[in-house]
Amino acid sequence: MAAQRWIMHMDMDAFFASIEQLDDPSLRGKPIIVGGEHRGVVSTCSYEARKFGVRSAMPISEARRRCPHGVYIRPRLRRYAEMSALVRETIARFSPLVEMASVDEAYLDATGLERLFGPVEEMGLQLKQAVREATGGLTCSVGIAPVKFLAKISSEQRKPDGLFMLRPEEVPAFLHDLPVRAVPGVGRQFAAALAQMGVKSCGEVSRYSEEFWKRKFGKAGQVLWARAQGIDPREVVPWTAPKSESAEVTLDEDTRDLDILRTWLMRHAERVGTSLRRHGLAGRTITLKIKYADFRQITRQVTLPQRVNSTKTIYDTAKDILDSVELADRVRLIGVGVSGFEEGGPSQLSLLPPKEPEKDESRRGKLDKAVDALRARYGREAVVRGRLFEAHGEGDDRKAASQAERMEADKLRK
């Protein structure tokens, strides 16, 4: 008889805020909000702040309204990445199949590991203790279930510092009253559409056939029906090739000033290009993201004839896309992304004139390699590209660098 399948979901408790409280004990017990300043969003917050209604992804302005006495802290992405690596190394000792879902959560396949760790529930307790010891006191919550999405939901049941195990025979009753909004992948709009149909729980989803949901919502409807039955065939995948690399920033002030926007494009191109080169990646599709003052958002992209990772090529392409856009309002957020890492794929006309692209990319690659080496040895500010000086001067460029450090931690979570 095949062994019972067990999936474990480990989720760090208020990860960024907990790190801040760990590093500065005077912050313990206080409402901590990690995120941008007056223009950004909340990356995460302590449980003390959540009592006031503060939540992740909430605008900082709203968080300040709800919790004016909170302690607001700029993200320290390097420190969070360092702690995430410690967590990853620790949980890898428990299973050969570990999938990092984000910087602070992971899935483990615990099937058949009872001979090593005892009952799966005991394994979960051992994992929690190991994470606490490795990080110097950080806690995590663990959910254990027969399938992936139920393991993730289970980890939310006893937060913080909890463990919840859902056995196969308990699944039908658990799902019957489970709100559809709790199912991973069911967003606000999907939940609202379901509510209009009078469907608010997984039990109510099961009143209709799979074919009904397929006709109503297509693939999303089929997945919803399967989840309502407790079906999730997805395996724990130890590593997934990245699909894109991006950087974005919410500006301190809304602007139409193209010089300011181009300067940020260069800043983003540097960050994205450096990351791509460090990981040996290159992509063909460059995407520009703009969010206006009224929160309308647009994206525009160009697919190049070859894969690239040079800062100059990424910047030139993004700048040309920006120049082709007639700005409908002042810009609140601007971002740049690179995707299309796979070989081949469809081509489309580039906004850039095809001036010996392979030769240009080779020359720019050599320059980037030299710049990367200097920065690795002497620090990021050892080499500053001329564009960043030309636009606002050295003082303002350092201010821009400081603003870049305040970018929301979404990139780190990907």
Tell me which residues are annotated as active site. Answer: 105
The Cα 71–Cα 234 span in angstroms is 40
């428990």: which residue's tokens? 94
Question: Which segments of 6-132 are extended strands (E)?
Answer: 7-12, 32-35, 42-45, 71-73, 98-102, 105-109
Beta bridge partners of 10: 106, 142
DSSP states along 230-258: T---PPP-S-----EEEEEEEEEEEE--H
Distance between the two ends of the chain, CA-based, in angstroms? Answer: 38
Element counts in the chain: helices (H) and strands (E): 18, 12
Q: What are the tokens at 401?
A: 């660098």
CA dihedral 219, 220, 226, 230 (to 10 degrees): 150
Quote helix, strand, coil % in the chain, to nearest 5: 45, 20, 35
The Cα 228–Cα 226 span in angstroms is 5
The Cα 141–Cα 129 span in angstroms is 11
CA angle 72, 76, 82 (to 5 degrees): 140
Contact 15, 103 (CB under 8 A): yes
Phi-psi region of 233 (alpha: psi -120 to 50; beta: other; left: phi over 0): alpha
The Cα 52–Cα 1 span in angstroms is 51
CA angle 306, 312, 317 (to 5 degrees): 60
